[in-house]
Structure 1
Amino acid sequence: MEDVLSKWMGAAAAVEEIFDGATMALAGSGGGLLEPDAVLAQLEQRFLKTGHPRDLTVVHALGIGDGKGSGLGRFAHAGMVRRVIGGHWSWAPAMQRMAQDEAFEAYSFPAGVISTLLREIGAGRPGLITHVGLRTFVDPRIDGGKINRRAAEELVELIELEGREYLRYKPFKVDFAIVRGSSADESGNVTLRREPADLDVYAAALAAHNSGGRVIVQVKERAPGGYVPARLVRIPGILVDTLVATPTQVQCVVSDYDASLSGEALSAVGDGCYATPGGIRHIIAARAAKELQAGQSANFGFGIPGGIPAILAKQGRLGSFWGSVEQGIHNGAMLDGPMFGTARNADAILSSVDQFDFYSGGGVDVTFLGMGEMDGAGNINVSKFGATVVGPGGFIDITQGARKIVFCGSFEAKGLQIEQVGASVNIVAPGSVPKLVERVQHISFSGEQARLVGQEVLYVTERAVFRLDATGVRLIEVAQGIDIEREVLARMAFRPLMDEALLSQARAG
């Protein structure tokens, strides 16, 4: 048996074992959540000094980094990376630019697909077979997840089982996993007890170990007393090859350590912990909140939907529903902004792999998600704009499992200014970028797929609400003070279906 003491080493020594052409799985999320950046920084320094390792394949489910060079941004150097399979890219703008410039093969898959594919790889199964992604840009009938011209290999295939269509995401060998925990004992057992989430660290470690690869774990410290209680172990020592103690490791960008974020203790946060959104965001979030019914299982996405819990808190409706987010958090005072995906006083913290299983299987009654572009077929784009890849994150996993979907987004972008006077909405200045387009650039949500499986879909903007019908997108509501013809219909690239009452209003307007 390997000498367990040899598992401990410095970050610089740990990355020496990573070889050219290796495939590595990373775990982490925005805001520094479980980000093993001390190890990644040393990997970057090694490449800058020696030119190695190069031609790496990097796989990550959620966005990793601070937007200023940490996390995935450590790989943003010519020659360092050959391929990236990423779920979300916005926390690493340098990598977005490199993908746009064809510096490497760029793929984007749903975050839950990547996390659960790592689990399937670790289990030795023939890839991930799932409905998630059908008729979106990851479907091989459309783009197969390829997001630049250099990406040529087919990593997804369409299959049929018992008369139903599925996608099979093909497995691959994982040579290294680089993940993070709180502390580890001398047997290499790792706990995440002080982290705000578990994410997919176990799946990444399992994939590497059972592929014959190696697992590098960054932790803050050796476990006090040299022992991690068995119930608190999230990565057993059998999977761990290298441990890197990093005393400067902080819990996340908003806290060196907050026990209410890691679920170890309760804190007196109250409803006042929520910052109520203002302006356009408030109008949309308040309208969308009307779609939530007591007792429902609800999911809230990043951006405008992230402000809905604040509206519910103001209305005294917290506790009337069961909320969750893709990072594995259930209930609690959910944080917004850079720490989206965490909560103080959560009821439960699951792995994101388990959470995505919950979503994929239909565990959510209603989800509230952002809306980039929308078209007349009811499709939504949140994953690519122009040549800039954003990635879907958990968007596709969640929308293709939820019973009801409420998309939340402004009617236009860039320069839109509105004012709300009482119940009326006034357009002070229109946006210069239309969002209701003839055809979305990237299909992150398929209206056709939603119709096939019978989902209820609403599209909420600051001036109008639409519903997905069997034959198209129907305008069902216009805000008070809005001229239907001039401020809605004339500023759309498609003509929606309308009920007679709204038609009459438009003619009279």
Structure 2
Amino acid sequence: MNFFDKLRLVLHVIRWRLTWRRHSLDYLPAKTSSDKFISARNAAKLIEDNSCVFSSGIAGNARCSVFFYAIRERFKRSGHPKSLTWINGGAQGGRGRVPGTIEELGLPGLMKSYLAAHIETAKAQLQLAQKGDLELYTLPQGVISLLLEEQGKGKTSMTSEVGLGTFLDPAVGGRAAINATAGAKYISREGDTLKYTMPQPEVALFSASYADEEGNIYFKHAATITESVQSISSVRKNKGIVMAAVAKIIPKNKKEISIPAEQVDYIVVNPYNEQTASILQNRYWPMFTPHEQVDRKKAVKQLKFINNLLKITPVRNTVDSDMARLAASLFLKIVPRDGLVNIGVGFPEEVGRVLVENDLEDEFIFTTEAGAFGGLPAPGIFFGATVGPDHLEPSSKMFARYHDHLDMAVLGFLEVDTKGNVNVSKKGPEVTDYVGPGGFPDIVYGAKNIIFIGHWMHKAEFGHEEGKVKLLRKGIPKFVEQVSEISFNGQEALRQGKTVLYVTNVGYFKLTKHGLQLIARFPGIDIEKDILANCEACIYIPQDESVPIIDSALEFSFNRSKNTTGIHSG
């Protein structure tokens, strides 16, 4: 990017930070022929006490901000609506920093219970739950989206193998409840499957791009669809209220209608609706929409610049780069051409970056759990969207794809244990430490191959010395005897015949019948001093074999016969 591109992006971020609290609860479009159009303030008045509400969206994508603001304002004035049961799938919080998120509703008494797949960003709700003022529950994101679909068909539950042997499985003491005040049981064991249920929403809130004067809804120029369609079907089956927030009214185009007017009860026009974080829908960026001609590499650099500017993306060193390149080389050896791929947030994004930098992105089908199919997964605050997607689809359809067949998932981890189990959902013992599983259980269930990537220890320091990786300062072991919460069951994965690899800054491991086996190490890493002495998990190392050393000059090629992980004996 040149100087002027960077300046434009800096000004974009500054403008967003200065105006990100903008909202108008009384705004109404000047001319409409339908009584469906109401103000956000009046929309909030339609939600009754003790209602069950579902809000769509994920992270910065398709946020229901104007509804959050309106409900908060009404509650602070009148004490209503109160004792709500609230459900959402993807993360919708702002980590206590970003306004216009689900945290606007984090007031004592407004919610009675909160059920979501990813909860870490909803700091206000976590704090209420810690005090016992809110019942807190979690279910996998894919299960939530598919349950909505089942509810729309008149069913109240679904059975699935997703979550077997994890913290969700009652057979191993698991449950959906997170804190002590949460008493409802949404999961039961039925033979070799789990039976999932959840409350059926009476109110659906979602954000879309546009509406026409008749009240038809358009997802044109949207970055995601998430659970909007399925939440509508569930609520209509329950004879509830469906309300949409759109950026503006456009001329009717029958071919482009996404949701017909008869499926939506009320529409709020919110000129400040965002396409995705920081980007107004009325000034949408073509890079996030299907069928647009975009320079993907340039777009990815722009998004990375914004994330770096906001200090969203951690600073990565040369050893981190080695890890990403190693994971990318393993990825290339496993994933077939046109393979279906999911890449998670955080360190997995670095693997995607390596693939893009080596012109490999067009050989695979990248997807996100938000329903973006094709293109390149957007990093950081834009997570859930993709750059140059082929098309957008509901989350439930994407998760159905994952459950059926996913060639590769590249994911992070908090802890790994002797049995290959992985914890991604619980950072510590307090309720406020809770992360939630997100779509992780659904993704690892369907993935034929999984690469977990993360640091060997928490808060350790690694560096390069004379071309070798050196442990400069020890940290807290992340490979432990037993994880504090099982989000991924290693033995279940072995039973299903999955290939599971763990890439770290000491080398990489594979899950085998012997447990975690050290397959290769970085040059400079000593097995006894750097690995075994800093690990609570049991590591299997064949006695009759030397552990190969990874060549620091990893090469990438789409000629499968030439592609190599750069490993040599030593």
Task: Work out whether the TM-score is over 0.5.
Answer: yes
Aligned 8 A contact 1:372 1:435 in 2? yes
Of 300, 311, 328 in structure 2, the residue corresponding to residue 289 of structure 1 is: 328
Structure 1 gaps of 5+ residues are none
Of 168, 186, 192 in structure 1, the residue corresponding to residue 219 of structure 2 is: 192
Q: Does 1:123 align with 2:146?
A: no
Q: What is the CA distance between 1:421 and its match in structure 2?
A: 4.4
Q: 2:244 is matched with which residue?
A: 217
Q: Does 1:424 align with 2:468?
A: yes
Q: Does 1:395 align with 2:440?
A: yes
With normalisation by structure 1, the TM-score equals 0.92
Provide the C-alpha distance between the structure 2 equivalents of 1:91 and 1:217, rounded to a whole number of angstroms: 23
Q: What is the CA distance between 1:502 and its match in structure 2?
A: 6.0
Aligned 8 A contact 2:511 2:517 in 1? yes
Q: What is the CA distance between 1:65 and its match in structure 2?
A: 3.4
Q: After the TM superposition, which residues 23-422 of structure 1 pair with which residues of structure 2 at under 5 Å, given as runs?
A: 23-31=52-60, 33-67=61-95, 68=97, 69-141=99-171, 142-160=173-191, 165-222=192-249, 224-225=250-251, 227=252, 229-256=253-280, 257-270=284-297, 273-274=300-301, 275=304, 278-279=316-317, 280-293=319-332, 294-295=336-337, 296-362=339-405, 364-386=406-428, 387=430, 388-414=433-459, 416-421=460-465
Provide the C-alpha distance between the structure 2 equivalents of 1:124 and 1:419, rounded to a whole number of angstroms: 57
Partner amino acid for 1:93? Answer: K
My pick for the range that moved more, 250-259 or 118-127, is 250-259
Question: Is the partner of 2:355 in helix, strand or coil?
Answer: helix
Question: Is the partner of 1:208 in helix, strand or coil?
Answer: helix
Partner amino acid for 1:180? Answer: S
Q: What is the CA distance between 1:97 and its match in structure 2?
A: 2.3
String of CA shifts for 1:86-110, please: whole Å, max 9, x gaps: 0111322222222333321111111
Question: Is the partner of 1:404 in helix, strand or coil?
Answer: strand
Provide the C-alpha distance between the structure 1 equivalents of 2:162 and 2:203, rounded to a whole number of angstroms: 26
Describe the shift of the 1:422–1:258 C-alpha distance in structure 2 as closer, same or farther (beyond 3 A): farther
Q: Does 1:17 align with 2:46?
A: yes
Provide the C-alpha distance between the structure 2 equivalents of 1:505 and 1:297, rounded to a whole number of angstroms: 30
Provide the C-alpha distance between the structure 1 equivalents of 2:112 and 2:547, rounded to a whole number of angstroms: 58
Describe the shift of the 1:376–1:231 C-alpha distance in structure 2 as closer, same or farther (beyond 3 A): farther
* Corresponding residue pairs, total: 494
Aligned 8 A contact 1:52 1:80 in 2? yes
Q: 1:441 is matched with which residue?
A: 484
Q: Does 1:465 align with 2:493?
A: no
Describe the shift of the 1:169–1:505 C-alpha distance in structure 2 as closer, same or farther (beyond 3 A): closer
Q: What is the CA distance between 1:272 and its match in structure 2?
A: 7.2
Aligned 8 A contact 1:194 1:264 in 2? no
Provide the C-alpha distance between the structure 1 equivalents of 2:347 and 2:413, rounded to a whole number of angstroms: 9
Partner amino acid for 2:410? Answer: F
Q: Does 1:493 align with 2:536?
A: yes
Question: Is the partner of 1:153 in helix, strand or coil?
Answer: coil
Structure 2 gaps of 5+ residues are 1-31, 306-314, 550-569
Describe the shift of the 1:76–1:116 C-alpha distance in structure 2 as closer, same or farther (beyond 3 A): same
Q: What is the CA distance between 1:372 and its match in structure 2?
A: 0.7
Provide the C-alpha distance between the structure 1 equivalents of 2:33 and 2:488, rounded to a whole number of angstroms: 48
Question: Is the partner of 1:500 in helix, strand or coil?
Answer: coil
Q: What is the CA distance between 1:171 and its match in structure 2?
A: 4.5
Describe the shift of the 1:55–1:504 C-alpha distance in structure 2 as closer, same or farther (beyond 3 A): closer
Question: Is the partner of 1:217 in helix, strand or coil?
Answer: strand
Provide the C-alpha distance between the structure 1 equivalents of 2:329 and 2:49, rounded to a whole number of angstroms: 53
Aligned 8 A contact 1:55 1:81 in 2? yes
Describe the shift of the 1:451–1:333 C-alpha distance in structure 2 as closer, same or farther (beyond 3 A): closer
Q: 2:564 is matched with which residue?
A: none
Provide the C-alpha distance between the structure 1 equivalents of 2:187 and 2:271, rounded to a whole number of angstroms: 41
Q: What is the CA distance between 1:505 and its match in structure 2?
A: 9.6
Partner amino acid for 1:61? Answer: G
Q: 2:6 is matched with which residue?
A: none
Provide the C-alpha distance between the structure 2 equivalents of 1:244 and 1:272, rounded to a whole number of angstroms: 31
Aligned 8 A contact 2:323 2:505 in 1? yes
Question: Is the partner of 1:118 in helix, strand or coil?
Answer: helix
Question: Is the partner of 1:5 in helix, strand or coil?
Answer: coil
With normalisation by structure 2, the TM-score equals 0.83
Question: Is the partner of 1:7 in helix, strand or coil?
Answer: coil
Question: Is the partner of 1:384 in helix, strand or coil?
Answer: coil
How large is the Cα RMSD of the aligned pairs? 2.2
Provide the C-alpha distance between the structure 2 equivalents of 1:446 and 1:4, rounded to a whole number of angstroms: 56
Q: What is the CA distance between 1:355 and its match in structure 2?
A: 0.5
Provide the C-alpha distance between the structure 2 equivalents of 1:145 and 1:201, rounded to a whole number of angstroms: 23
Q: What is the CA distance between 1:501 and its match in structure 2?
A: 5.4
Q: What is the CA distance between 1:446 and its match in structure 2?
A: 0.7
Describe the shift of the 1:292–1:52 C-alpha distance in structure 2 as closer, same or farther (beyond 3 A): same
Of 437, 442, 454 in structure 1, the residue corresponding to residue 497 of structure 2 is: 454
Question: Is the partner of 2:102 in helix, strand or coil?
Answer: helix
Describe the shift of the 1:308–1:58 C-alpha distance in structure 2 as closer, same or farther (beyond 3 A): same
Question: Is the partner of 1:91 in helix, strand or coil?
Answer: coil
Question: Is the partner of 2:494 in helix, strand or coil?
Answer: helix
